[in-house]
Amino acid sequence: MFWTRLMSGIVLLAIALAALAFGELPLLVLLCLISLVAYRELTRALRCATDEKKWNLLEILGMIGVLAYYGAVYAGRNGVLGADPLYLLLVITGVFLAEMFAYVLAFPRYQASQVLAAVFAFLYAPVMLAFVYLTRGTTVGIYVVWMILISSWGCDTCAYAVGKLLGKKKIFPLLSPHKSLEGCIGGVAGAALIGGLYGHFFVEAAFPERTVAWLIAFICAVGAVMSMVGDLAASAIKRNHNIKDYGKLIPGHGGIMDRFDSMIVTAPMTYFLTVLLLV
């Protein structure tokens, strides 16, 4: 299991690094594919469909919404629709209304909980993950997009190491028995340190007229806190519905949601802090 998990992790990291480095269409396509799988994993976990092997209309509408949303993101980024976020809000509103139409027209085929699951899954993974692409598309995106990985996977690695060495006080015994206060602090501090070093040696080297290392350290620290919230929220959903993993797509890791749960909430936080503090 260890070697399977390690090799899967290396492959995932290589794909992520390549996509973030290239940016533009390759990154968007990868994020769209990840979002489609994550959406399906969430709808199954939340019991949107009564039969896990079959698709229902609510899920199909959600999948169409994911494709439309990423199409709008790409079009807006490349000037087809302009930079107005109105088009993104239009797709989000359209998905909600489409799900409501399906609920009403097919009544009583679907329960309200199924409609809520379909809309929630759309907002949770696809919409949030799109902020990776939006971050990469900012004027300093080639440099700051790496903060998403530092905040999520960097924090996870540091928290695990510190927790194993020093962890004693369990702060979420029911939700995540292995998480400790010391590990959480180590994860945030580690992400901030890695971010600060990255900012000093790489970002400031490209922008010598600006001192941004401390800002990047701060953004990575905030992102690290959000990454742990995302991880715990995804775990809470699994515990609420008595499932071990969201899927089996990634050997040794589970599903897309099991591996990208922290990045999902780190990406929008990184984007907004980047726009507010760095751009």
Q: What is the pLDDT of residue 206?
A: 79
Measured between alpha carbons, how far is 157 from 152 in angstroms, rounded to an integer?
9
Mean pLDDT of the chain: 89
Average pLDDT over residues 210-219: 92
What is the model's pTM? 0.92
81-129 pLDDT per residue, tens: 555 678 899 999 999 999 999 999 999 999 999 999 999 999 999 999 9
Q: What is the pLDDT of residue 81?
A: 54
* Confidence band, pLDDT 50/70/90 cuts, at residue 189: very high
49-89 pLDDT per residue, tens: 776 678 899 999 999 999 999 999 988 877 665 556 788 99
Average pLDDT over residues 235-253: 84
Q: What is the pLDDT of residue 225?
A: 96
* Confidence band, pLDDT 50/70/90 cuts, at residue 252: low
More confident residue, 174 or 155: 155
